[in-house]
Amino acid sequence: MKIAYYPGCSLHASSKLYDIQAKSVLGKIGIELSEIEDWNCCGATSASKTDDFLAIALAARNLGIADATGLSEMMIPCSSCYSRTLVSQKALAGDPALRSEINAELAKKVEGKIKISNILEVLLARKKELTDNAVKKLTGLKPACYYGCLLTRFPSDMPITDSVENPVAMEGLLKSMGAEPLDWGYKTDCCGASASVNDADMALKLMSKILKDALARGANCFVTTCPMCQLNLDAYQDEVREKYGIAKSLPVYFITELLGVSMGMGVEQMQIDRHFTDALGLLRELKLI
């Protein structure tokens, strides 16, 4: 089965490993991710902070390309891209004048047909196939599942498939693979993301709260689906620990690499050696790799 796929800029660059993992894991259960051709950046949070028209129009061009594929569903792993694309699709459905105005500039017009899914929705719909393909139980893995902001909260009303304040999709998936996900208090709190570059003290403070809570609950790793959150919590963790005197570190996994490991895929295929905070030690200790 083919699903349209929008990787977004980060899965082509700093989070290329996530792109590779997603294709391997879904490929294993017979899903082919078909990257839409010649996509552009969705504008992310920056477009909506600077220009209301671009915030809708940039994602609209991708929606037109996606509609033209004739496929029924498009998966967007990055939470920011997912959010902007969904918001654009909804805004255009509710504003025919804006839609024609934007369509006039596009080679492939937005029809509004394609269903936009995040990676958890795509994975959860295939939980049985995933568990059927699992060869290792993720015993001993105690993840703090981290959803961040943009997977469940939107700038306008949006019907979502999980709970806004206490989403549980990741926990469900990981439990079925034998892991023991924990209840904790910061699963939808903001990690700061872009503030790590432009307002660093603020971002470090937010990350310290997240890290401290996860450790206090007894987590031995984070799991996330958002490449922005992953990079942030992974790359800046040393700085957070140093500034806030936190002794222990926690690896920050993408959901896909843990699913891959339980399906028997190795370090090289899952590219688990591309983390900033050691991510191999725990998996070795648990004899998962």
Partner 1 sequence: MSTSTLKYSAETSNALLKEVMDRSGQNLMSCYQCRRCAAGCPVGDESGVTPDRLVRMVLLGEKDNALNNLLIWKCLACYTCGTRCPNNIQTARINETLKQMAKEAHIEPNIPRVASFHSSFVKSISHFGRSNELEFMALYEIENYKKGGLTAVKEDIKSTSKLGRSMLKKKRMHFKLDRTKGKSEIKSLFKKAADKRGAKGQP
Residues that bind partner 1 (CB under 8 A): 9, 12-17, 38-41, 43-54, 57-58, 61, 101-102, 105-107, 149-150, 152-157, 164, 189-190, 192-195, 197-200, 202, 205-206, 231, 235, 273-276
Nearer to partner 1, 156 or 245 (CB): 156
Provide the minimum distance between the beta carbon of 21 and partner 1 in the complex, in angstroms, as a whole number: 14
Provide the minimum distance between the beta carbon of 263 and partner 1 in the complex, in angstroms, as a whole number: 23
Nearer to partner 1, 122 or 229 (CB): 229
Nearer to partner 1, 33 or 58 (CB): 58
Task: Please state, in angstroms and rounded to a whole number, the distance separating the CA atoms of residues 119 and 230.
Answer: 15
Nearer to partner 1, 105 or 132 (CB): 105
Provide the minimum distance between the beta carbon of 67 and partner 1 in the complex, in angstroms, as a whole number: 15
Nearer to partner 1, 66 or 231 (CB): 231
Provide the minimum distance between the beta carbon of 105 and partner 1 in the complex, in angstroms, as a whole number: 5
- 146: part of which helix (H) or strand (E)? strand 143-146
Structure tokens of 200? 């660093």
Nearer to partner 1, 186 or 260 (CB): 186
Contact 66, 76 (CB under 8 A): no
Provide the minimum distance between the beta carbon of 134 and partner 1 in the complex, in angstroms, as a whole number: 28
Provide the minimum distance between the beta carbon of 229 and partner 1 in the complex, in angstroms, as a whole number: 11
Four-residue CA torsion sign, 259, 265, 266, 268: negative
Provide the minimum distance between the beta carbon of 100 and partner 1 in the complex, in angstroms, as a whole number: 13
Using alpha carbons, list the distances in angstroms from residue 160 to 116, 153, 164, 170.
11, 9, 8, 15
Residue 74 has φ and ψ, to the nearest 5°, of: -125, 130
Nearer to partner 1, 80 or 262 (CB): 80
Query: Residue 242, CB half-sphere, CA atoms under 13 Å: how many?
Result: 5
CA-nearest of 80, 79, 13, 76 to 46 is 80
Strand, helix or coil for residue 194: coil
Q: Which residues of 38-73 are buried (b: 16+ CB within 10 A; e: fewer)?
A: ebebbbbbebbeeeeeebbbbbbbbbbbbbbbebeb
